Structure 1
Amino acid sequence: MAHPTYEWRPPERGWREQDLFDLPEDGNRYEIIDGSLHVTPPAGPEHHELADDIRMAIRLGAPTGWRVIREIGVRVPGGNLIPDLTVLRPGAPRERMWAEPVDIALVLEVESTGSRRHDRFTKPALYAEAGIAHYWRVERGDFGPVVYRYRLVKDVHYDLVGTIGPDDAVTVDEPWQMRLDPSSWPR
């Protein structure tokens, strides 16, 4: 059985948010970085399962009005990104497809083979430039997930404030006080 193809051409100018609406809903993640389109293939079930478990862990301790959303769009300078998880502050508009950085307290990326460089270098720089206070990156270690926690410094860059490994159930203070136990998340 032949698969339908989608023929598209890049715009004659740089890519913009409105161009994303014309792309196919094929499971790929389409993001814009400095006017260039970045396409990431769909993540595997293990990636989604880990992101879901982290989302539930964060949501369990969320104060009233805070929301933890999977794969919502985030506007950043020069583009649009889609983190694996976004924590929205109370009062953030519910109907928006693309969240504004002022409404975001934390973004989280679960690293995968196809996203490693962007999750470690490109995306944190853009999230910091946008003024998002906290960035977490989750890697699959040999013994389970490891969370690298970063805090925005001088509205310019992130500093590592700590890591949480599968043997390190700890209480963190960002964006609110909560207990995290990576040993309960899938490897």
Structure 2
Amino acid sequence: MPQHTTLSRQPLYPWPAPGGRFTVDDLADLPHDGHRCEIIEGGLRVAPPVEISHHVIADQVAMRLAAAAPAGWYPVREAGLGIGDSAVVPDVTVLRPGAPLTSVWADPSDVALVVEVEAAGSRRLDRFTKPALYAEAGIESYWRIEPTQAGPVTHLYTQASGGHYRQHRSINPGETAVVELPFQLQLAPASWLD
């Protein structure tokens, strides 16, 4: 006789929306269910899991940065970054020497570079909203990696006067380039999905 099993429902997490704007403390009360939760100017953004290739590219970038990093620099994946009333989670963050490593939320003054890999649900955020937040916070460099049919294209931005970024250059699939910020390393975007 076949054995029957009972599937129980996922537990409910009662979480009342706060009066007014969301804060970093509110994020701790959300269930950890594989979704990335961020706060953009006090509003909650919940992103679904992304394609595996997104993680592969971000992992490859973090590994390449770590291999080239001078002593004391820390390229890390998905570190929280508090910027005013926003709390975002870049795909890769490069922390400067001396940055505290015991905090969940990095201070922008400790960050030299943020990297975002575009996904279907984050394209507009990665192109407009997040770069504006990072630039206003004074983060020196921003990389946006755009998946294309030909392979990943890496757009490099540097801090410009007036609290915004200017595009420094783009590295297309099949190209290899040496970059200087935050430290010298060689980028070959096509190799990230080999």
Residue 13 of structure 1: CA displacement? 2.3
Aligned residue number for residue 62 of structure 2:
55
Structure 1 residue 182: Cα displacement:
1.1
Structure 2 residue 185 is the aligned partner of structure 1 residue 181: no
Question: 2:19 aligned with 1:12, yes or no?
Answer: yes
- Structure 2 residue runs of 5 or longer lacking an equivalent are 1-6
Q: 2-side partners of 1:46 and 1:167: how far apart?
A: 18
Residue 25 of structure 2 aligns to a residue in which SS?
helix
Aligned mate of 1:152, from 150, 159, 184? 159
Matched residue, 1:91: 98
Counterpart mapping for 1:49-128 below 5 A: 49-128=56-135
Percent identity over the alignment is: 48
Task: After superposition, give the CA deviation of every residue in 1:27-65 in whole Å (9 maximum; x if it has no partner).
Answer: 111111111111111122111111111111111111011
Instruction: Report which stretch shifted further, 35-44 or 123-132.
Output: 35-44
Q: Which amino acid aligns with 1:165?
A: N
- List alignment gaps of at least 5 residues for structure 1: none
- Give RMSD over aligned pairs: 1.2
The code of the aligned residue for 2:192 comes to: W
Helix, strand or coil at the partner of 1:60: helix
Specify the SS of the correspondent of 1:185.
helix
Question: Is the Cα–Cα contact under 8 Å of residues 77 and 129 in structure 1 kept in the other structure?
Answer: no
Q: State the Cα distance separating 1:155 from its structure 2 match.
A: 4.9
Residue 184 of structure 1 aligns to a residue whose secondary structure is helix
- SS of 2:55's equivalent? helix
Structure 1 distance, partners of 2:159, 2:17, is 34
Distance 2:32 2:192 in 1: 29
- Give the partner amino acid of 1:116: R
TM-score (structure 1 length as normaliser): 0.96
Checking the alignment, whether the CA contact within 8 Å between 1:67 and 1:87 is kept in structure 2 is yes
* Paired amino acid for 1:80: A
**Aligned residue for 2:148?**
141
Give the ranges of 4+ consecutive aligned residues of structure 1 lying more than 3 Å apart after TM superposition.
Answer: 1-5
The aligned residue for residue 43 of structure 1 is 50
Query: What's the CA shift for 1:165?
Result: 1.4
Cα deviation for residue 6 of structure 1 reads 2.7
| Aligned residue identity for 1:83 | P
Larger radius of gyration: 2
Alignment partners' CA distance in 1, 2:17 and 2:93: 28
CA distance in 1, matches of 2:133, 2:190: 30
The separation in 2 between residues aligned to 1:98 and 1:124, in whole angstroms, is: 18
Aligned residues: 187
Match of 2:89, as an amino acid? Answer: I
